[in-house]
Amino acid sequence: LAYGATKLEFDPNLLRAGDPMPDFTLTDLRGSPARFADLEGRAVVLNFWATWCPPCRREMPLLDSVQEAYAARGLTVVGVDLDEPAEAVKRYVESIGVKYPIWVDAPGNQDGFDRTRDLYTRFRGVGLPTTIFIAPDGTIRSVQV
């Protein structure tokens, strides 16, 4: 366990506070491409979550109110659903009325590689929800599990 934790801590692929946030492309719930680079110049709250996660479900209305309150000041909240089919995520999001953007892996992803899981793993991927705070210049400010 100690070896694994040490290896993980020094993994050069991990993203940490102070690192630039890499560009990535997922899909929004309408099926359109969603690129992180399109949020350039905005502060971003990137929240990894899943429909089966009770703490995730409890914080979604709060994140929605943060998006509503601070969007005009340059903040964007983006939810990244982890490992679930887009249709199931869409049904859940519609049922609770969340309005901030939710991104998922591309439906019918041909290579079988889950981009949401890959991105989550780069932030150590130790629990949900995991929230990443990113400055308008694209610098990761903090990671909160």
Give the residue-averaged pLDDT of 90-112: 85
- The answer to pTM > 0.95 is no
Inter-axis angle of helices 86-96 and 54-70, to 10 degrees? 60
Q: List, for residues 26-61, the tens digit of each pLDDT value.
A: 999 999 999 999 999 999 999 999 999 999 999 999
Opening angle at CA 126, ends 120 and 130, nearest 5? 60
Which amino acid, residue 76? T
Confidence of residue 112 (pLDDT cuts 50, 70, 90): low
Kindly tell me the burial class for residue 122, based on how many C-beta atoms sit within 10 Å of its own C-beta (0-12, 13-18, 19 or more).
Answer: middle
